[in-house]
Amino acid sequence: MTLRPRAGGAATTKTRKTQSCPRLTADLTEEEVLSRLRQLCSDGRPQDKYELEEELGAGAGGTVYLATERSSGQRVAIKVINFQKQRRKEMILMELKVMKELNHPNLVNYIECYLLGGNLWVVMEYLAGGGLNDVVEETKMKEAQIAAVCKEVCCCTLSVMLLSRYVILNKNRYVQ
């Protein structure tokens, strides 16, 4: 069991599957990576479940879109990665396995993924407001607001420490 704070501050319990840590092995063929990736992915077409609204950003890893889940109206971020062009496909597989296992209020949480054609669609929570740098650099904050930001940064630091205890990549490229 893990505790996850509610919006009001009280904690709720959440059952977590006990599974072995994801392993990254250098000897996987591309077909094996694709087979394992398909096991993680949801069936169907993401366009049937999500409506893309706008592009939020693009980089070497892919393009991120703001989208809305059609049935619930929940806003999500979807990163579309041209999987065929990725050199380290096994690293993406490992990252998805880790993201799927972790669920924490101070992390952008994974929702699901799809493999459609040569593209990997990774659906994650959408956090409005932009990056912390943008907020700090473009906003004049009062002392209470600065304290709130510092508190959240400390919580995020603790989350990263938790993550680093869960995921240790050793010299043999195994996640421990």
Dist. CA 79–CA 120, nearest whole Å:
8
What is the tens place of the pLDDT at every residue in 79-120? 999 988 888 888 888 888 888 888 877 678 899 999 998 899
Task: Please name the helix (run of DSSP H) or strand (run of DSSP E) that holds residue 125, with its range, or none.
Answer: strand 119-125
What is the tens place of the pLDDT at every residue in 8-59? 444 443 434 444 555 555 578 888 888 999 999 999 999 999 999 999 988 8
Sorted by where each starts, the structural domains of the chain and their CATH numbers stand as 2-166 (3.30.200.20)
Tell me the Ramachandran region of residue 62: left when phi exceeds 0, alpha when psi lies from -120 to 50, beta otherwise. Answer: left
What is the tens place of the pLDDT at every residue in 45-88? 999 999 999 999 888 888 999 999 999 999 999 999 998 888 88
Q: Which residue has the tokens 């607001």?
A: 145
